[in-house]
Structures are given as C-alpha cells and as structure tokens.
Homo-oligomer: A and B are copies of this chain.
Amino acid sequence: MESNYKNIIKNAYKSASLIKDEGKIATYIPELANVNPEMFGVHITKTDGTNYGEGNNLEKFSIQSIVKVLSLSLAYKILGEQLWERVDVEPSGAKFDSLLLLETNKGIPRNPFINAGAIVICDVLISNLGDAKVEFLAYVRELSGLPTLTYSDKIADSEKATGYRNVALCNFIKSFGNIKNEPSEVLDFYFDMCSLEMSCKELSYTFTFLANKGKTLEGKKILKKSKCKRINALMLTCGFYDESGEFAFKVGLPGKSGVGGGIVALYPNNFAIAVWSPKLNPHGNSYKGMHLLEEVTTHSELSIF
C-alpha cells in the first residue's frame, strides 16, 4: 500500500457506503442508542506518520471494547508473562459475555478481550497501580497525544445502571478467586475505561505503536517488540468474539471491535486503521466497518497471510 493508499481507502469507503446496512445499533447501553446510526468514517495512519480519512473520521465516538487492547498492553507491560496465569490466550468460541466457558475453566477467562478477561485485566491494574483510573488515563493520553482526554460520565453511568451481565461476570470470577479487589471497584474502573471517546483519526493514531514494533510515531518506546507481536496475535485470534475466525479469514489483519461500532485493525510495520459505523451485525461487530476493511485488504492485498 504505497503511494496509492489514499485511493484504496477512498474506494473502499465509497463501496461500503453503497451496501445496504443490515446491522442494528446496540441498545443495551441506553446512551449508545442515542448515536446517529448513519455515521460512517475511516482513517488510516501509516507508521511514517502520513494519514488519510474519509466520512465522519473526525467525529468522536465511544470506543468501548477497543480500549481493552490498551489496558491489556499496560497490564502486560507491568506483569510480563505472569499475566497469563490470570487469563488465557485462546479464542472463546462463544459470545462476548458468555459465562459458559468461564465455569468450565474455573474462573480463568479464555482471553483478555472477552468481557470476563477484560474485567480481570482491570483487577490486575487496580492491584498494581496506585490509582488505576488516573494512571490508565495518563497512559492512553500519552499514546493518543490527547492531553485532555477524559472518561465520559454519561456513557459510563448509563452502563453502570444497566450492566447486569458484567456485574454477573465479575462476581462469578470473584467466586473462583480470580478477582482480588472488590467487584464494585473493578466494575467501576471497567465501565469508565470503556467510556472513552475518540475519533477514527485519533484511534488509528493511538494504535500505531502496535504496528510500529512497540514505539509511538514520536519514537517513544511503549512496549517490547516481542510483547507487541503477541498482542497483535491475540487481536487476530480473539479480537472479534465468535467472529474472530471470519475476520482473520476475510480481512487477514489483527484487529479489535467495540460495541459502539468502531473497529481498529493494523498491518505490522505498515499502518493502523480505524473505522466507525454504529450498526452491528449479529456477532456484535460493525456491519459496514467489517465490509470496508474487507474491501481494503482485498484490493490492497495487504493481509498478513
């Protein structure tokens, strides 16, 4: 994807704009249901710093589960390989908030990207940081270059008031002993974390360190190269819940989706790309976003395979 990458993005955006959007907006977080379902944007940031976007690429949206890659990267940095005693690295073969495998596996979540795993990561951060909320925010501010980024109370409160499934997950894991702090504290951090808002442009910029051997575009080292590769591998095998295989199969890039309709994907040593369209397919991933990324890799031949 050399000089013509802008054309590829432009064409993929146009093509995906034309398909009939069969997705449905998420309603289980009441505040998310207020989003304009027609929003559609994409932005790519290359590891050389050049970047390009289309549509509503500068509009902020709730990144939701996409943040779990960032919390994982911070926890992994702190604990190293020891982290994997608390959470596994296998695809779950089940929906994002399933409790089935959790029961079989005695409270060890299948991977850090399903809700159960992300909640355990929150618990790890609380145990290992002085003030997890503050320090995690500082970490994301650094990655994103957005010094004023803050949690969205409106989104977080909306989810706190209705997130019974996540309360269930957290208490269930606690009953197996794999949550060390109080469930209410862990969940409070979890909901805050998921409430962060970014635009496609900001999001693609934020994720470039994973496409850049662990360094930000300014050259600051965030993560060791080997850890960075492993997080990318995890995104590929587990980033899209029970549609992870399909995404690897059709798009062929590591990526992570969020219930707000955002998806971020990256091509190692090359670029990070973020797309946003709020309507979701039955697996909980952005309907149009999936199509746009499939277009991009089909025409650019930029799958990692």
- Residues in A lying within 8 Å of B, measured CB to CB: 88-94, 98-101, 103, 110-111, 164-165, 167-172, 174-175, 183, 225-226, 228-230, 232-234, 236-238, 242-246, 248-250, 252, 254, 268, 298, 301, 303-305
- For the complex formed, measure the closest distance between the CB of A266 and the CB atoms of chain B, giving whole angstroms: 9
- For the complex formed, measure the closest distance between the CB of A74 and the CB atoms of chain B, giving whole angstroms: 18
- For the complex formed, measure the closest distance between the CB of A26 and the CB atoms of chain B, giving whole angstroms: 14
- For the complex formed, measure the closest distance between the CB of A166 and the CB atoms of chain B, giving whole angstroms: 8
Bound form: Cα–Cα A91–B88 in Å: 15
Extra pairs beyond A93-B110, A238-B245, A304-B304 (20, CB < 8 Å): A89-B246, A90-B242, A90-B246, A91-B244, A91-B245, A93-B93, A98-B103, A100-B103, A111-B245, A164-B171, A165-B171, A168-B171, A225-B301, A228-B305, A230-B249, A233-B248, A236-B237, A237-B244, A237-B249, A254-B305
Are the C-beta atoms of A183 and B164 separated by less than 8 Å? yes
- In chain B, what residue has the closest Cβ to A266? B305
Are the C-beta atoms of B226 and A298 separated by less than 8 Å? yes
- For the complex formed, measure the closest distance between the CB of A125 and the CB atoms of chain B, giving whole angstroms: 20
Name the B residues within 8 Å of A298 (CB-CB).
Answer: 226
Bound form: Cα–Cα A12–B82 in Å: 24
Name the B residues within 8 Å of A91 (CB-CB).
Answer: 90-91, 93, 237, 244-245
Are the C-beta atoms of B254 and A245 separated by less than 8 Å? no
Are the C-beta atoms of B305 and A232 separated by less than 8 Å? yes
Are the C-beta atoms of A172 and B183 separated by less than 8 Å? no
Name the B residues within 8 Å of A243 (CB-CB).
Answer: 90
Name the B residues within 8 Å of A233 (CB-CB).
Answer: 248-249, 252, 303, 305
- For the complex formed, measure the closest distance between the CB of A91 and the CB atoms of chain B, giving whole angstroms: 4
Name the B residues within 8 Å of A246 (CB-CB).
Answer: 89-90
Bound form: Cα–Cα A228–B168 in Å: 34
